[in-house]
Every structure is written in structure tokens, then in C-alpha cells.
Amino acid sequence: MIPASFEYVVAHSLDETVGLLAKHGSDAKILSGGMSLIPAMKLRLAQPAFIIDVNGVSGLAYIREEHGELRIGAMTRESALERSSLVKHGYPILFETARVIADPLVRNRATIGGNLAHADPANDHPATMLALGATIVAHGPNGDRLIPIDEFFPSFFASALEPDEILTEIRIPAPGVRNGGAYIKFERKVGDYAIAAVAVNLTLDAHDTCIAARIGLTNVTDVPARATRAEAFLVGRRITDQAIADASRLAAHESDPKSDLRGSAEYKRDLVRVLAGRAIGRAVSRARGGSH
Amino acid sequence: MALRTVNFTINGEAKSVQAESRQLLVHCIRETLGLTGTHVGCETSHCGACTIHLDGEPVKSCTMFAVQAEGKSLTTVEGLAVGGTLNPVQEGFWEEHGLQCGFCTPGMMMTATALLRTVNEPTETEIREAISGNLCRCTGYVNIVKAIQYAQRKMHATPAPEAVLQGGD
Amino acid sequence: MTQTIPMTSAAIGGMGHSMKRKEDPRFLQGKGNYVEDVNLPGMLWMDIVRSPYAHAKIVSIDASKALAIPGVLAVITGKDLEAYNLHWMPTLMSDTQMVLPVDKVMYQAQEVAAVIATDRYIAADGAAVVDVEYEELPVVVDPFKALLPDAPVLRTDKPGKTDNHIFHWEAGDAAVTDKAFADADVVVKQDIYIPRIHVASIETCGCVASFEKTEGKLTVWMTTQAPHAIRTVFALVAGHVGLSEEKIRIISPDIGGGFGGKVPVYPGYVIAVAASVLIGKPVKWIEDRMENLQADSFARDYHTTAELAATKDGKLTALRFKTLADHGYADAAANPSKFPAGLYHICTGSYDLQAAHVEVDGAYTNKPPGGVAYRCSFRVTEAVHTIERMVDIMAHQIGMDPAALRMKNFIEKDQFPYKSVLGWEYDSGDYHAALQKAMDIIGYDDLRREQLEKRARGEFMGIGISSFTEIVGAGPSKDFDILGIKMFDSAEIRVHPTGKAIARFGTKSQGQGHETTYAQIVAQELGIPMAHVQVEEGDTDTAPYGLGTYASRSTPTSGAAAAMAARKIRDKARKIAAYVMEVAEEDLEWEPGKFTVKGNPEAFKTIQEIAFAAYTNHPQGMEAGLEATHYYDPPNLTFPFGSYICVVDIDAGTGQVHVRRFVAVDDCGNIINPMIVDGQIHGGLSMGLAPSLYEEISYDEAGNCLGGSFIDYLVPTAVETPNWETDKTITPSPHHPFGAKGVGESATVGAPPAIANAVVDALWHLGVRHIDIPMTPSKVWKVLRDHGVTG
């Protein structure tokens, strides 16, 4: 499979990138990891006239805590997230997300920014970022703009980025006391998109009452989405097996999967229930200080 | 078709090639440079037959454009053996019958070589996860795992032989 | 008869030694030579335009935009080939299939036109802009509906054809079987579907065709498992346009996996040859993965209603299979001519059954033509899967342990050679020993106890057994031919003056390690170190004629030929040794590598000394040289066997089947290279796992191919694949020159029912009787929920 011809431009700075985006508009595509874009181009599903390679823009690959947030540069490779001890120990939900994306070789190229900007409901980071309540930093002609993750996926395969903006950073609130998260993905085999996956991030008080909960769903909605009724159900409730089971049922109800080769809609909805139950259970265990 | 000049090193040798923007890196390696040990088995980044090292990290060269290799250091299977001596991974694949048709083997060995450079004593599970981006249809992976374990033992049994540590990148 | 093979020294490296492979150094260093690595001066590239529709009339093809692209030299259509009467070609089953269509397409992804250009990128650009106007026709996807009276007739090219029926074939005595069923205490009946799958070798198919006009010589490097047969097919198909067999050279270079998918002649090869002949330059065609999965020959697609009868105490009495085979739009199977359903009538398996009747009907549908094997001997996997599933269903039905039921019904060791009720003569076997060994290794009784405990806790754990009998090594010339060519195979050995040898064969390795194992056979028979035996295959200009490598036939046929040719050489060597040592031939004793004078161990001549003498000091009146050729016509097929036991755990929440353990005890007779045999079994097991749990190619109502890329065609990775545990028993074949049987496919044949039986075993108590493969999470989840398990 051979991509159609295009013009290749290397950007050396964010401003140059934004200028190129402004000039070429929707004819241009940003090339970061390329792990979604290049296969689409090879299949000629995507035929952009201009490719703007941002791999040469320095200062976009980092993982650091500052201002009470975890800040991740958009060009950070998935493999860097997997290898980061800060991520592994401080944000296990993010570690669990990164390490189930595609396969290890793809993760050496794929970037977290690309995963989010592609706005594919089958991608793994959107659900996790929804659960974490992340903020997206977009850079455009007027500088930086902060976009709450809840507003980042407005419609099918579309992000809230303007045509002349580039995603530069992801900000995740640092976990508070008795906070725990988990991402559980069920796939047909390594390298597959999720049949379904559930991201859960919650906080308990000293008496095991849930005081905050966010749940993100992967590949079971048209756009990356939260299971808000399940979240609302959990908040204010003492965590019991029954509460987890009830919340999981609500999450399943909120999913809207389509039948395909991965399974029937009915199957996927039930899978959301099962995975939500397991993810909530793991998140609770972490919130309580368990290691697992 | 506009061609660009792309400069990189491959297996330690500096190269300057002319590439169309859309030329896939694997085609540049195979056809422009004639290094046909790197293979193509799919177009959806699933099989890993095209795995090479890009600045030391294993990547799928069918999912990169040749122009992206500008300024990079590449290693292909042809660069694994140093001075005609097989590297420990190559030796392990031979000793443990880690290959049959040989088509996935170069990519598999590139991944394995990178794994052993970054993880000292990978468990069987870690080895299996590490090679999960490389499909093999012949071996059932059992002997590939053994081959990598052989290489791991060999690298640790022989303290710091230059040729082994340099590996070829 | 038991054949004991003397063990040679490691320096000689004859049979039984795990010699490292001679072919590996080139593969390990990226120096393999696969078809895509072949580049010739002035070479052009071909890309193929394919149909988006499963059934459509071609209204027009407009190539003007493609031809306007600089570098596009030609666009070839069916009409161009029709001018030479090359637009249709015969299949190996004496059906016909299109090379390029003239009036209509019959499946999605069928070849419609070919673009020839100076570069692969330009060829792809050209293919993208060839405008084809189609008029959709009604699509027939379901083979059962295809046979209904009102179904559209697909093969309108066949004069007088009024339905979509291809063939009816049957074996066994229907009346005797009916009576046995009528008399039976217990009868179990089950519909079993074995889906379409694809071998998906990691190297796809392709060729470089080079026609040299001045000499009229055609050379084709191609991904073929059977180069000699291909040469003859090309000569037969294109003789009328001047291709003559002595001027056709087929070279099968290193092959990146075959598994049966590289046996057929695909349209792409023929178009590339036609393009090279027309344009006068070499033309390269390398299909991509989607073309490979969507258009190349598939395997399986058997719909069977199976019945098995038994007494109430578990003695199996009769079997009845009725099968509908979906062949796509052409019967392009790769079976021996007399067997339209292959060797499916091995379906009485490892059991001493007194009555059996099996029927197969073939149907045309709007799908790619086939079906070839998927790492198995002609339809044996279908047979084994069905009998092994039925035996398990019977065991559960009458409340007998599946192992005990098998033990009770196995053909006994002393019954061999065993004549089956469907007409085969099994050469040798010891089925009880293999199953017992597998049970001992896995700890069968403990597992059954664990299963009971788990079941009590509501957990789902299953244990599955498969005790298969393979049938390989096709085959004896009285019954076996492909397009009339008998299925012998060949070896030619030349011993050089310095005692080194070259050996050439009619087969073609695709990873099986022939360069090593054949050298070991020669080493065993002549005592020449295997390191000094150069093995070559795959070039029709140099190798002796043979039918190729598939159906686990290389060791049973060409391997046997190697031994026979070596023995001819040894006979001559004896004469030379006697002459040189001035003793009588009868006074000489052979051991691998030398002739010694009886009673005088100091007086001997090595094979190397004899080889030198063959060129420097041979007896007057004897031909000089030391070489021999043998075309081996096997007296019978060989019947490898084994018992596999699989343990699975099922996640009731997700429906996922986890293979916890898998023990494989194989018996392939005497072993040439234990390391390679183990590797063959590992690979075979993995290709048994794949269709059991992951792989399937299916079609929607419109005939759209589902699972036509590696996104959805789920080849397992190292993570999904368990750590296979292998062991063996050895029961030599009594009729093979060194007692070997073949092993490349046993595990692919034997593994699926072990896995399927384990899954059903875990769920039987819920009322589950059968699940078709692949047992995907979604399918198992549905079964669980349908039986009240909420997870």
C-alpha cells in the first residue's frame, strides 16, 4: 500500500507550525508519531496535501510535576510514559493506559498528543484523560489556550482544536489523599483497539465514602465520553460490592456501542459493566492504599 | 516528483539518498540502499517484519517516511553482526531454532536486541510482551523466547565483550 | 516391522541429531533471498485494480487517467488477454477461473485490471485512477442458499449450467451405516461449521516474471511450493502462445512461509507473465496483505451435520457426516484429482469403527476461489475436528470420561496395518501409549479433581483431548495425481571426487529446514558429514521433477527418494571399494561412512576414498562417477498421530478463553532432527490455536469481506500463544525407507479439537453441547449469558 503524494514540511518551532497550519488549513496534517496517520495514508483513507512534521520542534517531550499538576508534553512517546517511574508509581491509571496501546514497537513512535488529537473514540488516552479531568493546552496564533478535556471531543472524530492550533501539553491534577485510578482494556489480541475499556478515577473519604468519581469509556460511544450517571451514583455513597455493581450497570447503560467484528452491541455493553466493576474495584483498592 | 535529499547513518555508514516525500522508510532501505534483510508483511503496522532501530529504538520502518530519517542513526539486521561475528541474539536464534522461514526473523531479532539492551533479565512474560509487535507464523514463539533467553545468558556470562555491547547501533 | 536407525557420530550428523540448521546463517544476517528481493535491470512494477463488488457486470474500464501518469506503461484488462485466449485458466481441480474478467466479477477484491509502471509508487497511483463502471448483480454468500432452486446461477460462463452445485462425493456404505444407526443405543448429532481462514504467511505472494524475447525464454521467480508443477501448468496453459516447457524456468527462492497458500496459481502470476511477454521487460508483482487475505485461496469453509452412534457402554459403532463445502466462485482447491473433498474420509480417525458414510457437496458462491489447505493435508483438519468433537460429545452424553471413551475405542496396536471402513490402510500406530503419556504429563486425574472443585465455586475450567490420526505423504501413483501428474517425488545426489556431495530435490522448503534434514538423510545413508552435503531445491532448470512441498509430503516422498538414491550410490560404492581393496563385495560390511573387510577392522575404505576412486580409479567397464537419482513412488501414505490435552480457564465476565496448559504428544515415526520436529510442532500448534480462538474471514450479505487485513484477521502474538509442552512416542512407518512419517502439519490438525473440547468441557454442565470455532470472547459470552451465567 502506497500513500498518495504530498508536500513535506519540517517545522522547527511552534510558531512556525501554527503559521503553516494557518496557511494550509485543512489540507495540512501534523505528523507527530504518525502511527494513526501513516497507515491511513497508506490505505489512502487520508490524502493530505501537506504534512507538517513536528518531530523537530524541541521542548515538546517531557513528563514533570509542577503547579500541583502532572504536565506531559504532547510529543511524549507512549514508551516514555511506560518507562517513567513518576507515571508508574504516581499515576498508575496512566501507566496502565500507555502500556496497552497498540504494541511495544508502535509505542516507541506513538505520542500522547497524537492519541488525543486524533479524537478517535477507540483510542485509549481519551477515556483516561476524561477520568483524570485533564486539561489540554492548545497553541495557536494567539498563544496558549486551555481546553478542559470535557470540551475537547465535540463531535465524531473531531477535537476542539482550531485548524491553526496544535496540541502542546496535557495537564493532569495531582492525585489527592485517598485517590485511586485504574484503566482496564479488553482487546481481542495485542495490537487491537479495545472491544471496550473503562477508565476510573475516584477519591474516598476516611470512611470509604466516595467523594469524587470520574469514569471514561473507550470505543463504546461515538465520541470519547464519561459515564456521568455512574459517577453521580458513586459520589456520596459508601463503596460496597453492591454499589460497585450498581454503578457498573449504570455505566453499561450509558454506553452506546455498535455491533462489529469485535462483538455485538449487547456484548460490548455488558463488557462495559464487567470492566467498570473491575476498574472501580481496582481504583478503590488503590485509593485505600493497596498496591494493586 | 520532487525529491528531497535525506542524510542519515545506517549500520554505521553515512548515507545521502534522494527520496520522494511519500517514500516509506522501508522502501528506501530495501530498494534505494539494497538492504533487503528488512521485510514487509502488512500495511497496517501489525506484523513487525520491517522492524529496524531508529536511534537505538526498535520501530516499524513501514510506518515512517524516509524523509523522517534525516539526521538519524539507523540499524538494520545487516548491522547486527560485527566483523562477521553473530551478535548474541543471532547466535541464540540459531542455537535454539528460533527461526524457520526466516521472514519475520530480522524484525524479531531487532526487537530482541533492543530489549536486551534496556532490560537486564527479562522474565518470559516480559519477553513475550516485548515481541508482541512482531508476528511469527512458523515457530509458535516458544523457541524465539528460548533464543532471547539464550542471548541474555550469553551477554551476562561474558562480561562486557566490546562487540556484544556495541551490538551494531 | 520396527525400523531401528543406527546413530551416527555428531561429526557425521545423521538422523536423530539436533543439528543446527544449515540455512540459518543467511537468514540471521538478512541475506535470505525472497521473491521481493529479486531485482532485475529495467524491471517494471505491476499493481492490480480490484473489484469493490462481490458480483457485478463490468460496464466499462477507462484507463485514460492512469495512462496519462508519466511512468505508467500499460493497463492490462481481460479484453487484452482474451485476444490471446488467456483470460481464463484451469484450476488444479479441473475447474476454470478468470485471470482477468471480460464481462463480470465474481467476488470482492477480484482482479479487474493490472497497471504496469516503472516504479511501484507510480503503479499504485495508476491503479487508483483506473475508472471501472460496474452494474451490481445479486450476490450469493450462503452456500445453502446457493443450492436453492431460485438462486441466481453464478457460473454463466459454463454452457448449460443451471445451478451452483459443483460436485457430489461420498465414501462408505450408506445402507450398512443406516442400519448401524438404527441399531444404536445412543446417537449424537451436531452441526459443526469450520470457517474460512487464511494461512497468512508473513511473506505475501508475488513474482518477478522475465521474458527474454531473443531466446524465447521465460524465467519466473515466484512464491510457489511446487515449482515443477507450475512450470508444466504454464506450458499447458500458454503453449498456444508459444511458451514451451523447455524454455520455462520457475525459480522458487526462499519462501517466507507457505502452509498451502503458495500452491495455487494466482491470476497475478499469470498477468505478470503476460505483461513481461507483451512488454519484453521483467515485471515484478508483490501483493499486499489485504490482497493476500481478500483474494488468495482460503482454507476450510465446511458446513457439516455429523452423527455418531454407540452402545450405551461407550463402544462406538457408526459415523455419518454430511458436508456442504463452500468453494467460492471456482473450485480452486489443491487436492489430488480423484479426491474433490481431499482425504476427508480419514474421518473415522483413531477409532475402530465398523460403519461409516460420508458425503460432501461443493457449492459456488460469490467469494474467492479455493479451498486450499491451511497447514494440513487435504481436508484432514476438517475430518479430525469433526470426529474429535463428536467423540467428546458422545462421551459427555453417556457420562463417560472422554479419555476413557477414547481408550475403549482406539484401534489396537496389534491391529496395524489397519484397514479402515472408509478404505485407508493405516501403516502403524500405538494410540493408547500416546494418550496415556499425555495424561501422565499433564496430570489428568488431578486436573479433573481441580475442575470439580472449581465448578463447585462457579468457576469455568475445561480439559479437552484430541487423539488425532493424520494422513500424509501423498501419494501412491495408483490413486494420487495432480492434473494427471503422479504424486511421486525425487532426489538426485552427486558425490564429488573429494567426498562432498550436492543433493537436489523436487520439493521446496518454506521454512521446514530441508537444507538441514535432507543433508542429514544423506549423511545417515552415506556417512558423508551433513556439513558436506549441499542441498538445493526450487529451480526447475536444475532440480529433478517433483510435485513440491505441502501435505507433509517432503520427508515421506523426497526424503525417501534421498535414502533410495543414497542406497544406489552405496551399492556402487561397495563395488568400487571391493575393486580397490581387491576383495569380494560380500566380504565388505557397511557402517555409515566406510566399508570394512569382515573380520579385519584395519582394512576399510571411507566413502571419501571411494568417491575419489570413482573418478580416478574406477573398475574397467563401470561408469565413472558416483551419483544417483531416484523418483520415489510411495507404496502407501503415512499416518502420523498424537494425543493432545488442553486446559482452559474461561472468564465468565468477558467470555475470554485462556489456554492454561497444552501438552502435545506426537508420533511421526523415526525422527531426522528432533529440534526441527519440535519446532514444526510448536508452529503447528500455534496454527491450531489461531483458528480455534482468533482467526476467521467472513462475509456480509453484500459479499463484503470481513477480516481482510491484519486489523481484523487476528494472527496471534507471543502474548496470546501459550508455552507449548511437547513430547513424543516413536512408532516407525513400516513401509518408509527409514521409518519416518512427516510432521509439519500434525499439530495444526490435532490442536483445534483439543481446544474446542476443553471449552465445551468447561460449560457442558450448563447444557452447552458445542461451540463453533473461533471461540471468540463475544461468542463464548453469548453462550454463557444464554445459559444463565451473568459473570
Residue B158, pLDDT score: 58
Residue of B nearest to C511 (CA): B101
Residue C4, pLDDT score: 85
DSSP secondary-structure letter at C230?
Answer: H
Residue B95, pLDDT score: 98
Q: Which amino acid is at A173?
A: P
Answer whether C121 sits within 8 Å of A271, measured CB to CB.
no
**C711 CA: distance to closest CA in chain A (Å):** 7
The secondary structure element, H or E, covering residue A80 is: helix A78-83
Instruction: Tell me the CATH number at C548.
Output: 3.30.365.10
Rounded CA separation B73/B53 (Å): 8
Q: How many domains are there within chain C?
A: 3
Q: If we measure between CA atoms, which residue out of C298, C342, C746 comes closest to residue C552?
A: C746
Q: pLDDT tens digits for C639-666?
A: 999 999 999 999 999 999 999 999 999 9
Q: If we measure between CA atoms, which residue out of C500, C490, C519 comes closest to residue C626?
A: C500
Residues of each domain in chain B carrying CATH 1.10.150.120: 88-166
Residue C297 lies in a domain: no
Under CATH, which architecture does the A185-287 domain have? 2-Layer Sandwich (3.30)
Do C579 and C714 sit in the same domain of this protein?
no
User: Could you state, in chain order, the average pLDDT of each consecutive group of 10 residues for chain C (791 residues)?
Assistant: 82 98 98 98 98 98 98 98 96 95 98 98 98 98 98 97 98 98 98 98 98 95 97 92 95 98 97 96 98 96 98 98 98 94 98 98 97 92 98 98 98 98 98 98 98 98 98 96 95 98 98 98 98 98 97 96 98 98 97 96 98 96 97 98 98 98 98 98 98 98 97 98 98 98 97 98 98 98 97 84
Rounded CA separation C200/C713 (Å): 9
Question: What is the fold of A63-173?
Answer: 3.30.465
Answer whether C710 sits within 8 Å of B46, measured CB to CB.
yes
What do you get for the CA distance between the two ends of chain B, in Å? 33
Residue C1, pLDDT score: 45
Do C495 and C606 sit in the same domain of this protein?
yes
User: Residues of B with CB below 8 A from A106's CB?
Assistant: 45, 60, 63, 133
When CB atoms are compared, the residue of A4, A8, A104 closest to B130 is A104
Rounded CA separation C320/C351 (Å): 14
Residue C780 lies in a domain: yes
Residue tagged active-site, from C207, C347, C376, C668: C376
CATH number for A7-53: choose from 3.90.1150.10, 3.40.640.10, 3.10.590.10, 3.30.43.10.
3.30.43.10
Residue tagged active-site, from C97, C108, C110, C225: C225
**What are the b/e assignments for C82-92, b being 16+ CB within 10 Å?**
beeebbbbbbb
Question: What is the fold of B88-166?
Answer: DNA polymerase; domain 1 (1.10.150)
When CB atoms are compared, the residue of A191, A267, A275 closest to C717 is A191
CA A75 from centre of chain: 14
Rounded CA separation C734/C737 (Å): 8
Answer whether C120 sits within 8 Å of B27, measured CB to CB.
yes
Q: Is B83 exposed, middle or buried (0-12, 13-18, 19+ CB in 10 A)?
A: exposed
Residue B156, pLDDT score: 87
Cα torsion angle, C78, C81, C87, C90, sign: negative
Rounded CA separation C26/C480 (Å): 36
Put simply, the chain B residues between 101 and 130 with a CB less than 8 A from any chain A CB are 111, 129-130
Helix, strand, coil abundance in chain B, percent, nearest 5: 40, 20, 40
Answer whether B132 sits within 8 Å of A190, measured CB to CB.
yes
Is residue C207 among the annotated active site residues? no
Question: Measuring CA to CA, how many Å separate C569 from each of C54, C377, C521?
Answer: 57, 32, 13
Q: How confident is the model at residue B159 (pLDDT cuts 50, 70, 90)?
A: low
Does C778 contact chain A (CB < 8 Å)?
yes
Residue of C nearest to B48 (CA): C202
Does A44 contact chain C (CB < 8 Å)?
yes
Report residue C142 as a C-alpha cell: 450462503
Residue C180 lies in a domain: no
pLDDT at B167 > cutoff 60: no
Q: How confident is the model at residue B164 (pLDDT cuts 50, 70, 90)?
A: very low
* Cβ(C661)–Cβ(C723) below 8 Å: no
- Residues of chain A where predicted confidence (pLDDT) is lower than 70: 290-292
Residue B162, pLDDT score: 47
Answer whether B100 sits within 8 Å of C24, measured CB to CB.
no
Full 3-state SS string of C321-366: EEEEEECCCCECCCCCCCCCCCCHHHCCCCECCCEEEEEEEEECCC
DSSP secondary-structure letter at C619?
Answer: P
Residues 6+ apart with CB under 8 A from C294: C50, C108, C109, C368, C705, C708
When CB atoms are compared, the residue of B22, B45, B111 closest to A3 is B22
Question: Measuring CA to CA, how many Å separate C559 from each of C502, C638, C740?
Answer: 15, 13, 9
Half-sphere exposure of C770 (CA within 13 A, CB side): 24
Is residue C745 among the annotated active site residues? yes
Question: What is the fold of B3-79?
Answer: Ubiquitin-like (UB roll) (3.10.20)
Subunits close to B (at least 3 CB pairs below 8 A): A, C
Number of other CB atoms surrounding residue C516 within 10 Å: 24
Task: Report the largest interatomic distance among the alpha carbons of chain B, rounded to a whole angstrom.
Answer: 53
Does C719 contact chain B (CB < 8 Å)?
yes
User: Residues of A with CB below 8 A from B70's CB?
Assistant: 10
Q: Which of B46-60, B154-168, C337-351, C630-644 has the lowest mean pLDDT?
A: B154-168
Q: Which amino acid is at C302?
A: Y
Is residue C347 among the annotated active site residues? no
Residue C736, pLDDT score: 97
Residue of A nearest to C125 (CA): A4
When CB atoms are compared, the residue of A2, A189, A274 closest to C653 is A274
Q: How confident is the model at residue B1 (pLDDT cuts 50, 70, 90)?
A: low
Report residue C679 as a C-alpha cell: 519446532
Domain ranges of chain A: 7-53, 63-173, 185-287
Rounded CA separation B8/C670 (Å): 53
What is the pTM for the complete model shown?
Answer: 0.97
Do C646 and C626 sit in the same domain of this protein?
no
Rounded CA separation B23/A42 (Å): 11
Range of the domain at C448: 384-472+637-786
Residue A243, pLDDT score: 98
Instruction: Tell me the CATH number at C132.
Output: 3.90.1170.50
Rounded CA separation C248/C791 (Å): 63
Q: Which residues of A touch B (CB under 8 A)?
A: 1-8, 10, 31, 34-35, 38-39, 41-43, 51, 53, 55, 79, 102-106, 108-109, 190-191
When CB atoms are compared, the residue of B58, B129, B132 closest to A108 is B58
When CB atoms are compared, the residue of B35, B95, B143 closest to C679 is B143
**C744 CA: distance to closest CA in chain A (Å):** 26
Residue tagged active-site, from C300, C320, C375, C504: C375
Report residue B96 as a C-alpha cell: 535454539
Residues of each domain in chain B carrying CATH 3.10.20.30: 3-79
Residue in this structure with the C-alpha cell 513412488, named with its chain if needed? C633
Answer whether B132 sits within 8 Å of C719, measured CB to CB.
yes
Q: If we measure between CA atoms, which residue out of A187, C511, C651, A122 comes closest to residue B105?
A: C511
Report residue A208 as a C-alpha cell: 470509604
Is residue C415 among the annotated active site residues? no
Does C256 contact chain B (CB < 8 Å)?
yes
User: Residues of C with CB below 8 A from B40's CB?
Assistant: 36
Alpha helices per DSSP H over B70-132: 88-95, 105-118, 124-130
Answer whether A5 sits within 8 Å of B1, measured CB to CB.
yes
Report residue B140 as a C-alpha cell: 509458535
Q: Which of A35, A274, A275, A280 to mutate against chain C (most C CBs within 10 Å)?
A: A274
Number of other CB atoms surrounding residue A291 within 10 Å: 7
Q: Could you give the ipTM of this predicted complex? A: 0.97
